[in-house]
Amino acid sequence: DNEQSPTATWQAKHRELYERATRHPFILSIRDGTVDFSSFKRWLGQDYIFVGEFVPFVFSVLLKSWKESEIKSDIEIIFGGAAALSDELSWFKNEASKWGVDLCGITPFTANTEYCRFLQSFTTLDINYTVAATAFWAIETVYQESFSFCIEGDHKTPTELLGTCQRWGNSDFGQYCKSLQQIADRCIKKATADVVREAEEVFVSVLKHEIEFWNMSSSE
Ligand code: HMH
């Protein structure tokens, strides 16, 4: 029910942008099996750099929830997300070695640098918990909706890529994203009009950064 969920209202309001982020040609090419493996390898290397910047971002959200949220379950969910990052970094290293991608020799593309700078702004500036929680939910959800689409229904996703798609597309990760959405919604409903406006702007910014990130992966 959209009336209960401000974030669901924004997903509907910014439908076009949301679809471009979650049904990107790169994702569609994975699902229909036409993906170019060199694009996949480029994505893998660039995303490893991104996750390196995502770690301090997630810990800053955890710190804000620790200080500002009276709700124990919020902290537990965000703590779970933070704790999973160690595994995620190992996954990238393992996947990179399978594909022969040298993670030490990677230079970030402009879209990645800009997205990382956006993440850094949450840790360096004193950004409100509501706004940070909204960004966190949006970032995770774009990956969940994108990769789950590659393993749903009548897909032709190459076997080599199923593990990657399952990593973010599995139903536990989907449940985790729903929990993050509930946290964001609860915060937004209690927030001032200014904070609500800022959270919506951050949601739109995440979608734009995600689209640019996919564009970078699929172009040569
Ligand atoms: C670019 N967005 C990007 N990379 C990720 N790993 C996620 C979202 C999800 O954690």
Residues 167-189: tens digit of each pLDDT = 999 999 999 999 999 999 999 99
DSSP letters spanning 171-214: HHHHHHHHHHHHHHHHHHHHS-HHHHHHHHHHHHHHHHHHHHHH
Separation of CA 162 and ligand 1 centre (Å):
17
**pLDDT tens digit sequence for 27-57:** 999 999 999 999 999 999 999 999 999 999 9
The Cα 134–Cα 110 span in angstroms is 24
Question: Which pLDDT belongs to residue 132?
Answer: 97
CATH number belonging to domain 29-218: 1.20.910.10
pLDDT at 1 over 70: no
Cα dihedral 53→55→60→61 (10° resolution): 110
Which protein residue's CA is at the shortest distance from atom 8 of ligand 1?
Answer: 139
4, 196 contact by CB (below 8 A)? no
Q: What is the mean pLDDT of the chain?
A: 95
pLDDT at 68: 84
Q: Which helix (H) or strand (E) holds 40?
A: helix 37-68
Q: Can you tell me the distance from the alpha carbon of 196 to that of 202, in angstroms, rounded to the nearest whole number?
A: 10
pLDDT tens by residue, 54-108: 999 999 999 999 988 778 889 999 999 999 999 999 999 999 999 999 999 899 9
Contact indicator for 128, 63 with CB cutoff of 8 Å? no
* Phi and psi at residue 150, to the nearest 5°: -75, -15
Q: What average pLDDT does range 195-217 have in this prediction?
A: 97
- Per-residue confidence (pLDDT) for residue 187, from 0 to 100: 95
Pocket of ligand 1 (CB under 6 A): 47, 50-51, 54, 139-140, 142-143, 210, 213
Measured distance CA(126)–CA(124) in Å, rounded:
7
Number of Cβ within 10 Å of residue 110's Cβ equals 9
pLDDT of residue 104: 93
Average pLDDT over every residue of 131-150: 98
CB 61 within 8 A of CB 136: yes
| Angstrom distance (rounded) from CA 218 to CA 47 | 13
What pLDDT does 3 receive?
63
Average pLDDT over residues 206-220: 91
pLDDT at 2 over 80: no
Q: Where are the domains of the chain?
A: 29-218
Distance 142 CA to ligand 1 centre (A): 8
Structure-token match 């679809």, residue found: 19
Choice between 2 and 90, residue whose per-residue pLDDT is larger:
90
Q: Exposed, middle or buried by CB within 10 Å (0-12, 13-18, 19+), for 124? A: exposed
Atom of ligand 1 nearest to the CA of 112: 1
